[in-house]
Amino acid sequence: MTDDRLHLPAGAVVAAVVLALMAFAGLLLTAAALIAQFVIQSPLIPRIPTVRVAAAGMDALVLALVILAVLTIIGLFRLRIWARYSIVLLGLLDFLVFAIMAIGVLVLRVRSGMASMPIPSNPHVTVGNILFALAALYGLLALVGLWWMIYFNLESVRQIFADAEARLTP
């Protein structure tokens, strides 16, 4: 007796878990931003209507990406071909956004005069060290997007999704 079911590749499971963690973090950040803007009335967000609308628009965009991520996770576990396309697209967006952020933070580190300024609560840590760590984090997140783009375009992975799609059509 042979097993005709298709198995989800381990890389797709890991990618779905990483995407779930990123979606959860995005959801938490969006909730915190909305609370800061509308409940706490944070002084970090000026009480200028245009700024508040732009901030709410960014929150809505992140929320839409979180919804897309959740749908993509479900689709990945069901081996839907659209989910493969979706995670490649999310990987491209992830790569572009976080690579630009990493480069921007590194440029800020180099160009700002504060790079050697110590942090008052811990004089052994400088602003430059924090900016470098932040750039490394953004760089790592950009590499996640690159990984998704490469992995989900491998011939073997594309074939698994294509075979699963072929089984759905009568």
What's the CA gap between 137 and 99, in Å, rounded? 10
Amino acid at 143: L
Tell me the C-alpha distance between 77 and 83, whole Å: 9
Q: What distance in Å separates the CA atoms of residue 46 and residue 37, rounded to the nearest whole number?
A: 9
Q: What is the pLDDT of residue 2?
A: 42
Chunked mean pLDDT (size 10), the chain, 170 residues: 64 96 94 81 74 85 95 95 97 97 92 78 83 95 97 95 84
Is there a contact between 105 and 134 (Cβ–Cβ < 8 Å)?
yes
From residue 20, give the alpha-carbon distance in Å to each of 65, 68, 98, 111, 164: 12, 11, 17, 36, 22
Q: Which residues pair with 119 in a beta bridge?
A: 122
**Amino acid identity for residue 36 in this structure:** A
Query: Phi/psi zone of residue 122: left (φ > 0), alpha (ψ -120 to 50 degrees), beta?
Result: beta
Provide the token pair at 158. Answer: 């594309």
**pLDDT for 5:** 56
